Amino acid sequence: MSLTNIQKWLGNRRLTFENLDLLNLASVKKVTRNCHSVYHLAANPEVRLSGTNPRIYYGQNVLATFNLLEAVRKTKKIKVLFFTSSSTVHGEDSRIPTREDYASPEANSVYGSPRLSCEALIAGYAKTYSFKAIICRLANIIGPRSTRGLVYDFVRKLRKNSKKLEVLGDGTQTKSFPFIDDCIGAIKVALKKAQERVDIFNIGSRDQTDIKTIANVVVEEMVFRRVKLHFTGGVDGGKGGSVTSRICFLRRLNWSREDGCQDMIAKSRSG
């Protein structure tokens, strides 16, 4: 997170900002001791790092979540814990849409398995120590302040070379791209509608777009001409790895938001 994103709020008397490390349990206990609700959005979201340095990824995701849960347990005042997970916990399930009660025990990446571990820890703590847990599994959220992800990478590459754009895989792999405003709307509904001790929500868009189309849209929006798309292929049968978001469509919680070309659906099934 960049502090510039919240700069205008730093002087607001209703906001107290604490810069701390979740790996420092003493610091976490200190800032949560008077809290009644916790929104846990902290994680290392860099997928590439998860493959090259899994120890760091484990520490900044699983261990950080464990420390926060320990603080919640010892504080005893906190009644609600909200956690942003990832659609990658579904692994390679072939059922579309994927149900919330499905999470692959054979996670296919070092990125997805720690998120699944965090979900299990949170569920166990919530049921053992009697607080409410709300988990939202997000899929490829995009917005104007994005600093990583597919669209961001395409823009960064084109700024370096406006004549050639490298695309991992063969371009046929698909993704769901919910807009940040719609994601926030879905989260607010999930917070309001959650009823069980542990409630899990998948948040994504109704449709999916192939990577080649996204590349062409980015090229067009940046007003570049004669850009050659270079497909690397050669990974996972040419697909470039597992990138399909297999979520969305409503089940028990019927909610959707139409906002131009953005279409968000949140579906729920209690954990």
Q: Which residues pair with 135 in a beta bridge?
A: 83, 200
Specify the range with the lowest mean pLDDT, choosing from 106-120, 156-170, 193-207, 248-262. 248-262
Vertex 182, ends 180 and 187: CA angle to 5°?
95
Helices (H), the chain: 25-32, 47-52, 54-58, 64-75, 112-129, 150-160, 180-193, 211-221
Quickly state the pLDDT bin for 265 (edges 50, 70, 90): very low
Average pLDDT for residues 249-268, to the nearest whole number? 38
For residues 35 and 78, the answer to whether their CB atoms sit within 8 Å is yes
For residues 265 and 206, the answer to whether their CB atoms sit within 8 Å is yes
What are the backbone dihedrals phi and psi of residue 192, each rounded to the nearest 5 degrees, phi first? -75, -35
Q: What is the pTM of this model?
A: 0.79
Domains of the chain, residue spans? 3-143+177-207+247-270
Q: Between 3.30.1330.10, 3.30.2020.10, 3.40.50.720, 3.40.190.10, what CATH number should domain 3-143+177-207+247-270 receive?
A: 3.40.50.720
Q: What is the pLDDT of residue 126?
A: 97
The model's pLDDT over 192-224, given as tens digits with 9 standing for 90+, comes to: 889 999 999 888 777 778 899 999 999 999 988
- Rg of the Cα atoms in the chain: 19
pLDDT for residue 242 is more than 90: no
Quickly state the pLDDT bin for 247 (edges 50, 70, 90): very low
The model's pLDDT over 20-30, given as tens digits with 9 standing for 90+, comes to: 999 999 999 99
- At which residue do the structure tokens 């320990």 appear? 70
Q: pLDDT averaged over the chain? A: 80
Measured distance CA(232)–CA(200) in Å, rounded: 36
Average pLDDT for residues 150-175, to the nearest whole number? 90
How many H helices and E strands in the chain? 8, 10
Share of the chain above pLDDT 70, in %: 77
The model's pLDDT over 69-118, given as tens digits with 9 standing for 90+, comes to: 999 999 989 999 999 998 878 766 555 556 666 555 555 677 788 888 99
Q: Which residues contact 150 (CB under 8 A, 6 or more apart)?
A: 140, 175, 211, 214
Quickly state the pLDDT bin for 43 (edges 50, 70, 90): confident
